[in-house]
Structure 1
């Protein structure tokens, strides 16, 4: 206890040093604690289901990654439920839930809610039990008795956690729907299966002939039987699928890709988050190296005092314990402040729903994160105090007592230690900066991808018409009047309708050139978009040949279709696509005649363009809700309230509050990459700052030790420019060595980054050269400041 009190008094005597040391460690420990909280939620913490290691996710195994190719038919799921022995139970959910419309009629007006239809046993397969009420029963797996389970978030936000909500009847899409339960707070469907989405309700999905006729619609989740593995389940499902394919050749390709639920949810993000965690560990090491240098300097200033205490009988082990106690107290102070920083950063990131990273919203500075922060603080304290303690151990009492002044020199070993610590800082900073630069260049390449449309000044509203229509013609007329009403709003330059916005909801249909024979399982695939006659021009998709939809393409006219450039090249490589008939595959039904070719719009921002085809809403009724796209002639901020007012005036039952800008759609598509690059960029910037401070500290201390030498040089005629060059050269040598080590380490670790890059090579020489130049430039600047101060020394005053 006396040692602790003495250490506190010593730190209180130098408040400037203490504050700098605590802040330096707070940056490192805070970043580590925040990153661990995020890493724990995204990668380490068990999934919020029962025995997650026994759950498997099953999707289609086709090369095409559209939802239609990745999903399963109802009859396939039923066959697995009947015949599989590798699974105790198999459930599923409707993958195209975002195409559906759900409007809740409330006292304060219509509200759009997001609901996911799931099989009756889906929650039982997961082992999820409602906190209130019950799960679905078999009798509710029908459209005739609408029921719903409410998410905990929606329940608390809109019903103030009222337990009386169970049994209440809500009006959804004009139908009375009974709330049978509230899901537990630990389980959020969107956080696990649809990251970035706020899912409000779960509803039953009937496994019937009607839903079978919809084709591929389901993702499956199965609970493995004791002793079964995803590999054995894969073998079994392949056998079942082969038999089904032989018995039902009309169902097209039947296949399955079985993987653990853990791998499905977390696998795509594991490498990125492990790299980020490694980066914050490097940042903590840099902070520790910086503090170690500060403590070495502090030990140098107190060397004569220490020598006197040793001469009077103090034991070296006691002095070493005091030095370690000081560093541990500094580390604990930095840890406490770092936890506050970590809590702020973690809460800010977890509250953002735009990153589409599973379970990110559950990240907290919880007990494991606090334990990690405590361990990191202890590690940092021990590491920071190690070198000063060793210096005390090696110290020579008589030499220190004979030295003039109040400090003396700790010798060449301490100088080498200080320089070595700075070299390590520079190397780690160069490593982080190179990795961050590659990711940032990759993000810039993603944002510079040719989108094929103009996202600027465009806003989209999700339109869910609650009213029922007698026929398709009445529905088309309703939407036509709505668009005309919006076009009358001042500031609206264009408006159009589509069943889906670009860069999202990527279903796919078979599409073939008429007269061409394709092998079974090799039918061409294209993404269908249902649009009105104004949409393509409103979106800004360029016309390459033919024409857009117009008044000639009404419900009674011959079916027309517009195809993308990629689709035209793939289906008709040797002829003009205009006037060609597009056929369905494998059913052979005609999709329509090609009337136009438009530019490519990528299905995903990081994928090469895939075939796309556009159908007129008047000729194809395969849509539920639609997206109203409005292009403004000026700022969109003023346009939004005016359009919302127009929609309310047109139909008071429309839920018109749910809107987004196309720029936000593009940003959402690149959000995970933005998070990775921005976090690593922030870590590397802090690392570079700390490395620069390290160079500054070493050079400034070196100048303090060489004041007499510098004064003599100036007195005998050395130019001040030469003194500056001598000192800057010393800092540059340290930086060159550190940058060289950092570049070698970056080259060795470049392969790890390759899978995260887009449009740039992990071994891009320009990136390596520029980052080395930046590191050296910062080092020169850090050395130049004390060098200029040294060059301004008055030789006479210094020699006195």
Structure 2
């Protein structure tokens, strides 16, 4: 305790040094603690399920595409798996296309759009999740659609019903139907945070497994609870064997597979490489901070050599001196750690509240007990690492010789100077590695932003419209939405408006779609993503017309069915031929077709980083397979003024229509690149901070070297050396140190760049421009860090320095 009290007194005597040291460690430890809080929630913390390691995720996996229709499973196939499988205790699932359905809650505050996910009756039992209030669905509620029931999410229960326990057993009005609330989900299980990050799921409703839902085709993502001793690979082998028999018995179901992985791998696997790389980057940042502080402590120790020599002369042992050095380092580490943990709490809580990043479980990120213990371990390790070299130097140094040195500063010794240079070289090398990694991700992010979208998102807003009205015919429903659209078109400043059942870069169901007269192998029938739109949508989105025409008045409900296809579909189905006038066949047999191609438009990618995919557009007046509607409005006015005007117009047209769910199309694009933006921005921030610390470290070494060489510099100037030569001498020393660090950093970056390969888009992991540019940036920072003390040294008055 005496050592710590003395260390505290010594540090308070030099507030400038102490503040710099504490802030240096605070940034390093804070970043490390915050990153651990994030990575612990996203990758390591147990999933909110009972025996999560026994949960398996089952996808179709038979088509080799990322479309949800190709990844999901039919209801009747799930029932057959239940009956015949011996690897699972239970099998359940949820409707991957629930977002296409309309849900409007009629409450005291008026109509409100809510998002519901349809789940099988045993879905929560499979997961091992028990409602915190009420019960799970019962079999009668999942037979058909005639006994509507709902389980509320914990967040929705708190926000909409004030956390009242009395809501269980009551009825709410959804889509003009009475729905009984049977339970409330526990707070630790957010369906959206786990299975659909970036969205808000308000309630769960039962999904019947019957002939009607089986006729919908592939709809379900399946989750199974494995029996003890079963594994995902063995379960997949069993399901594939069952599938062979089922396909022979039911050829009308088409092809289906059973790609089986653990639920943990499905949820966390895609994000594991990126977050582990970020964690490695933040550890490098902490190491740079520790090396920087170690360098400062070495310099401080050399400046106090006379004081320490006096202590030795008065009887202090070398162990006392080394222990004192470690005590100062630990005091600095704990002070920096306390500040860093505060910064980490602020950073993680802010990040967890953001809905802009579609990362599973990110909402649970925070500084909990495990993060605090990790921070404590990091603080202790940082203190030991920072104090180790200064303690060793003091242990080995000639302390008694310092008493007879001439002047107040003395000579620090070549060993200490060499150690400080090695530390700076290490900092520069690590900073260079981080900067190159960030440069590769930034360059990749720029490539992503440069992807041709196929539509114009600027100056456009979208409203999700879910009406609670029921319609006997599709023509009545289309006429209702047409009246809404006409009212919106009358709003001042609205240039155009159109409707679609889904926005770009979002939902991606697929239907079979082939060319008339073409023969396809079994299970190899082409597929395309259907988009149901009105006759103004493509023009409003600024999707270019390549051939033929857009939908217009000629495509009314009673007219012959018409189809508009994108460029990829036209090229795939009719290579080298004119697609206009061709029929698109449905693939369901009996010569059924969707209609005649009347136009070809440009491609819109399914996802920002996905290749172009076949798409076909249908006029809503001619096709009834749509539910909710996305109203797109383009304006020349500021979007902030458009929102209240459009909401007012919608309310005038239908007072019971919820209109609070709107988004700018620019935000839709931003959300599509959100995970990459998160990785890029975090690594960019870490590398920038690392470069700053490395620059400060180099500055400190050069500045201290100038101080130690003040007499030498004064003599050089006194005997006629030009001041510019002095500047070149000192800057050259700094650049030599930096060049060695950059060289080492480039070699390490070359060896480690392959780790980033899976995160890159459109560029090589060995992009020479990124390596050269970031190496030059590091050298530029080194030049600046060396130039400042060099100019100060050149301005030295030789007479004053010699005196």
TM-score scaled by structure 1? Answer: 0.99
CA distance in structure 2 between the partners assigned to 1:182 and 1:405 by the alignment: 77
- Structure 1 portions without partners, runs of 5+: none
Secondary structure in 1 matching 2:554? coil
- Aligned twin of 2:249: 247
Deviates more, 1:144-153 or 1:672-681: 144-153
CA contact (8 A) 1:86 1:236 kept: yes
CA distance in structure 2 between the partners assigned to 1:19 and 1:518 by the alignment: 73
- Aligned twin of 2:338: 336
Structure 1 residue 613 and structure 2 residue 608: aligned? no
- Aligned twin of 2:446: 444
Matches within 5 A, 1:490-509: 490-509=492-511
CA offset at residue 160 of structure 1? 2.0
CA distance in structure 1 between the partners assigned to 2:630 and 2:232 by the alignment: 39
CA distance in structure 1 between the partners assigned to 2:402 and 2:588 by the alignment: 91
Secondary structure in 2 matching 1:755? helix
Alignment partner for residue 792 of structure 2, among 784, 789, 793? Answer: 789
CA distance in structure 1 between the partners assigned to 2:160 and 2:418 by the alignment: 64
For residues 725-780 of structure 1, the C-alpha deviation after alignment (integer angstroms, 9 at most, x for no partner) is 00000000010000111111111111110110001111000100000000000000
Structure 1 residue 111 and structure 2 residue 112: aligned? yes
Secondary structure in 1 matching 2:38? helix
For residues 280-305 of structure 1, the C-alpha deviation after alignment (integer angstroms, 9 at most, x for no partner) is 00000000011001101111111011
CA offset at residue 586 of structure 1? 4.3
Matches within 5 A, 1:552-571: 552-571=554-573
- Aligned twin of 1:204: 206
Secondary structure in 1 matching 2:732? helix
CA distance in structure 2 between the partners assigned to 1:77 and 1:107 by the alignment: 40
- Aligned twin of 1:635: 638
CA contact (8 A) 1:242 1:254 kept: no
- Aligned twin of 1:48: 48
- Aligned twin of 2:22: 22
Deviates more, 1:771-780 or 1:13-22: 13-22
CA distance in structure 2 between the partners assigned to 1:655 and 1:358 by the alignment: 28
CA distance in structure 2 between the partners assigned to 1:397 and 1:739 by the alignment: 35
- Aligned twin of 1:752: 755
CA contact (8 A) 1:30 1:339 kept: yes
Alignment partner for residue 733 of structure 1, among 732, 736, 751? Answer: 736
CA distance in structure 2 between the partners assigned to 1:589 and 1:326 by the alignment: 82
Alignment partner for residue 388 of structure 1, among 381, 387, 390? Answer: 390
For residues 545-583 of structure 1, the C-alpha deviation after alignment (integer angstroms, 9 at most, x for no partner) is 000000000111110000000110010002100000110
CA distance in structure 1 between the partners assigned to 2:205 and 2:96 by the alignment: 13
For residues 517-571 of structure 1, the C-alpha deviation after alignment (integer angstroms, 9 at most, x for no partner) is 0001111111100000000000110000000000000111110000000110010
Structure 1 residue 798 and structure 2 residue 801: aligned? yes
CA distance in structure 1 between the partners assigned to 2:588 and 2:246 by the alignment: 17
- Aligned twin of 1:275: 277
CA distance in structure 2 between the partners assigned to 1:586 and 1:692 by the alignment: 67
Secondary structure in 1 matching 2:596? strand
Structure 1 residue 712 and structure 2 residue 715: aligned? yes
- Aligned twin of 2:695: 692
CA distance in structure 2 between the partners assigned to 1:404 and 1:148 by the alignment: 86
Aligned length: 800
Secondary structure in 2 matching 1:271? helix
CA offset at residue 598 of structure 1? 0.2
CA contact (8 A) 2:506 2:607 kept: yes
- Aligned twin of 2:127: 126
Secondary structure in 1 matching 2:19? helix
- Aligned twin of 1:591: 594
Secondary structure in 2 matching 1:326? helix
Alignment partner for residue 665 of structure 1, among 664, 668, 682? Answer: 668
For residues 313-364 of structure 1, the C-alpha deviation after alignment (integer angstroms, 9 at most, x for no partner) is 1011111111101100100011100001001110111111121100000001
CA distance in structure 1 between the partners assigned to 2:480 and 2:360 by the alignment: 39
CA offset at residue 634 of structure 1? 2.1
CA contact (8 A) 2:312 2:400 kept: no
- Aligned twin of 1:513: 515
CA distance in structure 2 between the partners assigned to 1:778 and 1:64 by the alignment: 47
CA contact (8 A) 1:335 1:377 kept: yes
- Aligned twin of 1:6: 6
- Aligned twin of 2:465: 463
CA distance in structure 2 between the partners assigned to 1:158 and 1:704 by the alignment: 67
CA offset at residue 41 of structure 1? 0.2
CA contact (8 A) 2:530 2:617 kept: yes
CA distance in structure 2 between the partners assigned to 1:310 and 1:157 by the alignment: 68
- Aligned twin of 1:80: 81
CA distance in structure 1 between the partners assigned to 2:257 and 2:132 by the alignment: 37
CA offset at residue 408 of structure 1? 2.3
Deviates more, 1:664-673 or 1:247-256: 247-256
CA distance in structure 1 between the partners assigned to 2:407 and 2:334 by the alignment: 33
CA distance in structure 2 between the partners assigned to 1:685 and 1:175 by the alignment: 56
CA offset at residue 456 of structure 1? 0.3
CA contact (8 A) 1:395 1:410 kept: no
CA offset at residue 397 of structure 1? 2.5
CA distance in structure 1 between the partners assigned to 2:141 and 2:223 by the alignment: 20
Matches within 5 A, 1:331-480: 331-480=333-482
CA RMSD of aligned residues (A): 0.8
Secondary structure in 2 matching 1:496? strand
Secondary structure in 2 matching 1:196? coil
For residues 232-291 of structure 1, the C-alpha deviation after alignment (integer angstroms, 9 at most, x for no partner) is 000000011111111111111111110000100000000000000000000000000110
